[in-house]
Structure 1
Amino acid sequence: MVDTTRPKCGFPWPGRYWLIGLGGGLLIVLLWVGAVADIARFRRLTLEYNERELSSLARALAEQTARSLQGIEFILVRTSTWALDPRRTQTSPADSDAFLREEINGVPQIHHLEIFDAAGNRTATTLLTTKPLSVADRTYFQQLQRASGNALAISEPFKSLSEGRPMFVVARRLEDAQGQFKGAIVAGIEYEYFRKFYEQVGLGPGTAIRLLRTDGTPVVVFEDRLPADRTQTQTRYVHRPVPHFPLAIEVSREEAVALAMWRTLTIDELIGAAVLSLFIMVLAVALVRQLRNLRRVNSQLRSSQQRWRAVFDNAPVGIMLLRPRDHYMAVNPSFQRMVGYSTAELEQMMPADITHPDDIQLTQRHIDQLVCGEHDSVRFEKRYLHRDGRVVWTVMNIARVTVSVEPSHRAAPHLTDLLVSTVEDVTQRRDDEQARRLLESQLRQSQKLEALGTFAGGIAHDFNNILGAILGYGERALHAVAKGSPEQRYVEQMLKAGDRARSLVERILTFSRSGLTTRLPVHVEQVITETIDLMRIRLPDTIRLDVQLDAPYAFIAGDPAHLHQVVTNLCSNAVHAMPHGGTIRLELALHRLEAPRSFSHGALGPGDFVRLSVRDSGVGISPELLERIFNPFFTTRKAGEGTGLGLALVEGIVREYSGAVNVRSAPGEGASFDVYLPVIDAVEADVDPLRAALPLGNGQSVLLVDDEEALVGLGEEVLAELRYEPIGFTSSEAAWLAFHANPQRFDVVVTDQTMPNMTGIELALRIHAIRPDIPILLVSGNNSAVLEREAKAIHISAVLRKPVRQADIARALSRVLAREDDETAT
């Protein structure tokens, strides 16, 4: 079995490149977040390490400073003991100075040693000077005065007056056994000793070491400043008190110096993150390109398969794939529709199962030629049997192709022969060809009918003129004979015959005009009764006519001649359906529809209708013919027996009257035609139109025009009898000249339509150009909707149909003249 379905894509999301970008971006973000976190952690650790380093250094310096100061303190304590010894008073100043020099000998941090009394005056010194000196105003001396016990005081740094060297002093309070202040032992300390010591620590640029008093006053300061081009940043400080002394060590370092290694590590970290980010981006781009290539390949594969599938599924011809002498492997929808079977059903069938029996051998012979290699492809016509039993004519093209087939189990692919066939349905083409030949025949027939209609129209016009004279003089003869005499009955029968002849002319004119005439109230039952009387004369003896009329007050808006044609054609069709005799049942009844309803030919809304039913007991109509019976020129009769226009004329008239036709039939069960026509409200006249009182004139002047001299003479007599003043002309040109000479002479114009040189329409146009208000009556033996529209467009008052009876002309003149009087009065 060949799989014709669309294959699934092996890679489910080749087009979702944003997922790759999102994943790569997320990985880069995580990488940079980790890098930033590491940088922040390195910074914190670096600062913590700096704090620990500075703290350790400050503690070591504080201890070292304490040891240095302890040596100084020891000298001050020993000197204080000597200075307070009572025997010191017996020592000369020179000996005292010598003693002090001996005390500081070998102590580099002490510059000099001096003793001051309670008043602040110097009493002994190691300096080689005899100049008196008082320290009473010195801050440290005053602190010692206010202190108690063996207090120590340390001064702020200053420059010595003798040498200008920076130093500070450490002084010890002297007091006697009673606690009285006796002076101070002052040791001048070398500033540079401590500064050089701090310098030797070598903390590097950006660091500083300060020896501070408890009040924050700097005593010794060493600063290793940054280069001038380096920006100063925040400074980190660490304080450590000097044990047993009112001093503290402050070690500081610029944060930029402390973070120097961190910056190096940060740069390395950023470079590494940037390199990894670039690698990820390159990897993502490479992956996207690879996926695009994969998607392009997949897209090309899908496009190829979609094109093949689109051609296979939407081809206007059938396509099928099968092995020789095997079941169908694949068929497209066109072939399925062609034979009426689904894919699943065809896969279980052999080609012979749906081939017409007469074409099975033909098909097999062509397939054998392909299999034997005689031909690569063949083309021939064959017939299929549709699921519903009808025959489908096709043109087949079959080609043999060799393909590689992969079996479902693990085995090597092998080559096999397949048959690819295209099937074109030519049933409609054959039907169209037959229909074309039939239409050509019908066209020739219609051309004959058209010529006959033209000929009939000419004859009808002349015949109407003859009928006009017959009916006109017949009416005058009817008025001249005595009532109740045999002559009156003879004349009345003559007039009825003339009316039937008039109806016959109307039927003849149906072939030569298009559209319907003006619709008037038509008494349905009366027209059908007259038509049945005419039909009975022509019915064969083997056919019985059963009539049931039950609509005595039904009127429709139309033309009696059209209703006559409907009844006649339906009955003629019924007679043709009963070649061996039978019964025609004609019924007329009122019918009311409460809701919209559809019929076999037309649909009707709610309302009142008159239903004309014609049923026969003939051979019936097959379903395939039932759909075509109303087609023009369609007939089941032999050549020369009918034109196929009867039922088409019925359907056209009913449709024009807004009605519907319902047909029911089956072979051998006869046929039933129900015609529904909408009814109107109308009252049947009780007075015989031949004896009804006619409206009379008042001496109005009537311009009468007709090319038939007999009709002009008859018209003048009729108009004079109706108390009008007629002026008759047998030439439209002469009538126009008379009117043009004196337009105000005439009150109304009655003119024929078909006349030589100038028609009635043309004459009316000329007359209205001079007197637009004058009423004009147009008389024609071939009334049509076109003529009536033309007459209405040029404001002709009325159109009368030949032959015109006295009552018709009397009522028409009375109506138009009364309308003119009303307009004049207004």
Structure 2
Amino acid sequence: MRNEQGAAGAPYLPWVIAIGAGLIVLLVCVASGWDSWRARRLTLADNDREMSSLASAIAEQTARSLQEVELILRRTSVWERDPRNQLMTPAEKAAFLAHQIEGLPQIREVTIADEHGVRTATSIAAASSSPNIANRQYFQDLKKASGDSVVVSEPLKSLTDGKPTFAVAIRLQDPEGRFEGVARALVDEDYFRDFYRRIDLGPGAAIRLLRDGGTPIVQFPAETQSKMPSRVRSAIRQVPGLPLLVVVSRDESVALADWRTSSINALVGTGSISAFVALLAFALIRQMRRLGEVNQRLRSSEHRWRAVFEHAPLGIIVLSADGHYTATNPAFQRMIGYGSTELERLGAFDIMYRDDVLLARERVDKLLSGVHERIHFQTRYTRRDGQVVWADISMARVSAHQEHAPQNIRDSEEMLVATVEDITSLREAEQERSELEGQLRQSQKLEALGTFAGGIAHDFNNILGAILGYGERAFNSLPVASDERRYVEQVLNAANRARTLVERILTFSRSGMGTRVPVRVSPVVSETIELLQGHLADSIELDVKLNANDTYVAGDATHLHQVVMNLCSNAVLAMPSGGTLGVTLDKAHFAFVATLSEGRVGPGDFVRLTVSDTGAGISSEVVERIFNPFFTTRRTGEGTGLGLSLVDGIVREYGGGIDVQSVVGQGTRFDIYLPVTDAPPPAADGIPEDLPRGDGQIVLIVDDEDALVTLAEEVLADLGYEPVGFRSSAAALQAFKEDPNRFDVVVTDQTMPELTGLALVSEIRAIRNTLPVILCSGYGNPALEEEARKAGAAALLRKPLRSGELALVLHQMLGRATD
């Protein structure tokens, strides 16, 4: 029976083979056509990506080249507006402009034209003609524009040599915005054309630089073809910051040349396969061979993915739907310190940091429920050794299909696959950066407030100068026992307190720091404690330990006194019911850089001043703000909020740091670290008891404050000098020029509207360089001292001036001049 069926089936076998062969041929042709169509799309896509990338690169290069041109024009416009440059000869201007464009091959010429288009300066030194550019379109566009406009012209021919070029020009205007002309640079087209030629896009390709309106400025190659290609693939990019477009194009037939070759080869291959498929046996053998190759590729693929899994730098985990580890790679095991066997017995949340478990469960549940296809979050793990590790996790849900699973078992099993990256060091770096950014913002805020405070203090010094000067004269002229003398004395006391406040503001603003000298710290602290001790209540016990007796810091004794006095005063106020005020001075050494509450110190040797109290303490929220200017916890009228800001400013100026430790209800401790110096202390200068007097010498006084000029004239007259006062620095300079030998000494303020004190000193010293000049300022700092020394000032005095100080300096200057 079986033989009969086999014999009966034998005649149909050729048909089966023929039909099978025909079907195979048809499938092969369809597949070949599909591959050819897909290859064509990919070829065009690759071509478009190449042109897009090239267009972007050319646009960036064009932007950089033309931005250099714009920068040259901006600098040229600034130079052109400088009144000092108006006196330069055309050759000097040409030399300057030619120097500006040295090394910039894209710029042929830089020209400055006035509002009528007439050239006023050019980089071409030997230009024989001066063409007018008023009829150029870019000149008209800039004339109608406003602000610092930039225009790129259409293609031009140079009015000088007739060569093709295009212009980049900016608008020149006066402070009221009125048009004053243009600054123009002629850009060499050959520079861009040579650059496009070096790119070598091959045949059928072109690069064009267009204006926004579509006008071509530069193109390569030049359009010499009589017949345009039927289809062109193009990529267009805007030149950043300029009204220009870069267009890169290529003939589609050229782009598809390789594809056509491969398609022909594929067609030949398809025909060959179709011919060979005529034999069923060969087709079967070939099919079996192909199956073997596929199996081999599958095995190779499995080996590759296993190698990737085992050697991946990131942790990879596979979790079952119930949250147990089914697979982990070595990178994850090293990250958390557990082996694969141990992890298989644990759940996903067993080694997670307990504070992060709830949030992680919620996200995983959303993934399993289908709310999200994949999730990304950061969490913490607890290593086997107890260390906390931050991890960045990306997780997705996958299904493992089982083709031959029994009917009572579901045909797929949900799994979670995740990559885990250790970001502990990154989180620590971000935390440190955040802290540094906070310190930077605080420093910037303090600097701004300091500048503001310093300016106010400078103006207030002039007012105090008049109050103290005239107050002293009124006080000395009144009877000793009179009520009027007592009233004036109270005015002087208030003015002296105001002067002290100004000194604190100037110190806070970093402008009160003069020349630093080595200061022995221990006597300054001891003297401050003695002054403070007389005002302490009986309920406060003083504990002083001064151990660093021979330690010096480079600075000012007044500043150290202010640091100690402010810290001790705050400590006393923190103990209204009594307690212990501790002041300790010792040495400290840092082998490495140490970060404190305020600032960083080390490495090196430091003197440590510790001020502690047993008062109410400071909360952590308030500790973060105590060094802010004008911040105070006292009631209105009881404090300025400058005390700790002053301390912080002085310590930072000295290159030191502050460490604050406080416990609410137990007390506060401030540790001040100041770098020590090995420089020898300065020798003390003696001051005579009686003020020296003048002998009729003529003193030129210059100050824009009427009251201060009048006061100085009266004081100098009483001291035996002949004062000549001026309220205008320009008028004083004119009087000096008329008779330079009339005056014996000059006393001038620094901050004046017409000529500053430094400028006046320079003018006077240029005429008579042996004349002693005394500069006065209420805003002194090391930079001003250095500028005064370079200008030739014999001395720099701080305002408000005192009669004794001025008398001593005049005596020294005039005595030195006589010698």
| TM-score with structure 2 setting the length | 0.48
Task: Give TM-score, length-normalised by structure 1.
Answer: 0.47
